[in-house]
Amino acid sequence: DAGITQSPRYKITETGRQVTLMCHQTWSHSYMFWYRQDLGHGLRLIYYSAAADITDKGEVPDGYVVSRSKTENFPLTLESATRSQTSVYFCASSESRLAGRLFTTDTQYFGPGTRLTVL
Amino acid sequence: QKEVEQNSGPLSVPEGAIASLNCTYSDRGSQSFFWYRQYSGKSPELIMFIYSNGDKEDGRFTAQLNKASQYVSLLIRDSQPSDSATYLCAMSAHGTSYGKLTFGQGTILTVHP
């Protein structure tokens, strides 16, 4: 049971380069999320997706692009990396379910993270 | 005002003591509440979730929710050095799109022998 995986685990790149972080989950969860975690800011949502081909911006989307052509994959691309994008990036997935008449979020499960350094 | 605020910490307790972690929130629409634990260099992992007012116990952990006062807490009984980690509270609102969670900043807990 692979769960949710991220690659690469560590990445060093230079300012201006394009970088893609991969996220893959084996649970067929509908929802997937990208967060960045920085000291003093906690976990901040970058982008999220409710299903294949449905994505939306989170709290800090500038400079990032996502796609979701398949349910199990949710890559995050930094189009032109900047030093301020040096961070630890976490991917997460969850399934939503009905609780009475309302949808409720279920637990988000996190990948192991990617530590990105932009020089 | 931040949507989710946690006691700033760091919190240090002796082994065997009760550790109390608190979280307040501003969105009265918040309905689902989660506590995650994050060891240094690792990803967050779920400890507990709570939806209803009152207490929910799971082993040494008790989550407490008071929607009228807009706070949620986590008590760790018989604290162990292995409980030393950053604890994140998170919440979402029923019916909001895509199951987004809002996280607090985290509280660093150290349990010393």
From the list A31, A42, A113, the residue facing B43 with the nearest CB is A113
The identity of residue B56, as a single letter, is: K
Min CA distance, B60 vs chain A (Å)? 20
From the list A43, A58, A96, the residue facing B88 with the nearest CB is A43
Residue A106's pLDDT band, with cuts at 50, 70 and 90, is: low
All residues of chain A having their beta carbon less than 8 Å from the beta carbon of residue B99 are 31, 94, 96, 103-106, 108
pLDDT at B97: 53
pLDDT at residue A103 is higher than 70: no
Q: Where are the beta strands (DSSP E) in A1-119?
A: 4-7, 10-13, 19-25, 31-38, 42-51, 54-57, 64-66, 76-78, 87-94, 96-99, 102-105, 109-110, 114-118
Q: Which residue of A has its CA nearest to B107?
A: A42
How far is residue B26's CA from residue B5's CA, in Å, rounded to a whole number?
9
**Could you please report the per-residue DSSP string of B30-52?**
EEEEEEEEE-TTS--EEEEEE-S
Q: Tally the C-alpha atoms within 13 A of residue A41's C-alpha that lie toward its C-beta.
A: 14
pLDDT at B52: 87
How far is residue A80's CA from residue A76's CA, in Å, rounded to a whole number?
12
Q: Which of A43, A47, A48, A101 should we substitute to test contact with B (largest number of B Cβ atoms within 10 Å)?
A: A43
Dihedral (Cα; A28, A25, B99, B42), 10-degree rounding: 150
pLDDT at B80: 97
Residues above pLDDT 90, as percent of chain B? 67
Please give the mean pLDDT across all residues of chain B: 89
Cβ–Cβ of B45/A110 closer than 8 Å? Answer: yes
Q: Which of A37, A54, A108 should we substitute to test contact with B (largest number of B Cβ atoms within 10 Å)?
A: A108
All residues of chain A having their beta carbon less than 8 Å from the beta carbon of residue B23 are none
pLDDT at A41: 79
Mean per-residue pLDDT for B15-22? 96
Contacts of A6 (CB under 8 A, 6+ apart): A21, A22, A23, A24, A89, A90, A91, A111, A112, A113, A114
pLDDT at A75: 98
Name B14's bridge partners.
Answer: B112
Cβ–Cβ of B100/A105 closer than 8 Å? Answer: yes
Q: Which residue of A has its CA nearest to B5?
A: A42
pLDDT at A37: 96
Of A94, A62, A97, A55, nearest to A79 by C-alpha is A62
Is the minimum CB–CB distance between B79 and chain A shorter than 8 Å? no
pLDDT at B95: 54
Q: Which residue has the tokens 């409710």?
A: A50
pLDDT at residue A105 is higher than 70: no
Q: Which residue of A has its CA nearest to B86?
A: A42
Is the minimum CB–CB distance between B99 and chain A shorter than 8 Å? yes
pLDDT at B96: 54
Residue A72's pLDDT band, with cuts at 50, 70 and 90, is: very high
Residue A28 tokens, joined: 């067929």
pLDDT at A26: 94
pLDDT for A57-70, tens place per residue?
Answer: 998 999 999 999 99
